Amino acid sequence: MDNLKYKIVRTLRCKNTNIPGTLGKLTTVIGRARADIGNVVTVYLGQHYTVRDIDVFIESEEHLASLVEEVSKLKEISILQVRDDVLGLHKNGKIKMMNTVAINSLDDLSRVYTPGVAEVCRLIMEEPSSKDIYTSIPHSVAIVTDGTAILGLGNIGPVAGMPVMEGKAALLQQLAGISGIPLLLNTTDPDEIVATVEHVASTFGGIQLEDIASPRCFVIEERLEKELSIPVMHDDQHGTAVVTLAALINACKLSHVILEEAKIGLIGLGAAGLSIGRFLHQFTGNPALGTAKTEASIRRHTEHGGIPSSFEDIMQTADIVIATSGVRGLIQPRMVRKGQIIFALSNPYPEITPESAKASGAALAADGRTINNLLGYPGIWRGVLDSKAVRINFEMYLAAAMAIARATPEGELAPNPLDPKLHLAVAHSIAKAAIESGLAQRQLDDDYFESTDIRNPRLA
């Protein structure tokens, strides 16, 4: 089924008697209940019965209840457990603080803590720049959210958004060796958010704003960029714009479209859509068409050089359609024009599935799972922190986009987001652009750019 990846997965642990045909009966019932089967794992194989874990793809909890009811009618089979492995994976959270040095003796304790630590404190007091050598500050990024724009869920609050922040932090550590530390702010007031971040900023090497709704996110980022001496990035804006440009470069290459000559339409002008429009305008020199739910969003798009349009006009005339509306199924297959490039980027459910778009005539189509910020932000932060850049400018973001495009395998829109070489390439490109832009406070030597370990770069 073409939209299988947008369904819910549950695991049924089933015990069935060892009678020929029993497993076939079970799979038939699952199929009749309109569910799809994923992995099937044999947990126990005995003389009289077998226990299996069967992953099923369902549309809702109501659909699951109906499926369980139908399976329970089979006298040869009993359901021992219905499990949500996603919840199981998140149990106790996905991150924790870890020591970088072992403390196994009193001698270790005297060096790591008292009295030895006093010597390091005095050194940093006398030479503040020593913090970059003797603390974790330059390798830490705050992931700040007020929980008002979490994925496609909207304003669910900062605590409910914590699993997303933990995921970002876990990936920063695994892919770039950076400590991402979630900060959940129980306020939506821009003044309070800015003041809070200012008060804690000395703990970090950079600030990543995450899932803060527009228009507050624009004001918050602009003020923090002016008032802090460390770099600030709103990932929903700039991270999305970077990976979208990278994928568009590859899409145009594959479909023989000249990006600078293509008509681009934006459906949705929130944090992501507006930033994509500004970024593409800077890159191509051509303004994009744009439409949104509110007049205020359209006005901001116009103020940044965009062209106000309508949903219908974009679908009928644009060569490239980029949707960040957050509305599942907004683009109907009949609206797709033959040869269009369609990026439906709303997560977790796109405006149209890539399969449906391509079946309706799109030359290329992708969703937010392929064109995902994970392609950008780990390497961006590694390069920013390595070069000690005071801020991140357009040239640095552009360098990241080009690095992602170059790292993409032939015939694909985007590279594997878990490939360490991708993030290393982005880091090196960002660091080089920071140096060339005059924003770097550390001049990196050839050893850095020849390094192959993104988690432990060789710094000058």
Catalytic one of 5, 168, 293, 388: 168
CA distance 265 to 49: 58
CA distance 455 to 326: 34
Q: Kindly report the backbone phi and psi dihedral angles of residue 164, in degrees, each rounded to the nearest multiple of 5, phi listed first.
A: -70, -45
CA distance 199 to 296: 31
Q: How far is CA 201 from the centre of its chain?
A: 23
Burial class (CB in 10 A: 0-12, 13-18, 19+), 233: buried
Show the tokens assigned to 384.
Answer: 């920013």
With beta carbons less than 8 A apart as the criterion, state whether 206 and 181 touch: no
Q: How far is CA 166 from the centre of its chain?
A: 12
Check if 113 is active-site.
yes
62 Cβ contact partners less than 8 Å away, ≥ 6 residues apart: none
CA distance 207 to 313: 38
Q: What is the DSSP letter of 150?
A: B
Beta-sheet pairing, 264-267 with 289-291: parallel
Catalytic one of 113, 226, 293, 421: 113
Check if 448 is active-site.
no
Catalogue the active-site residues. Answer: 113, 168
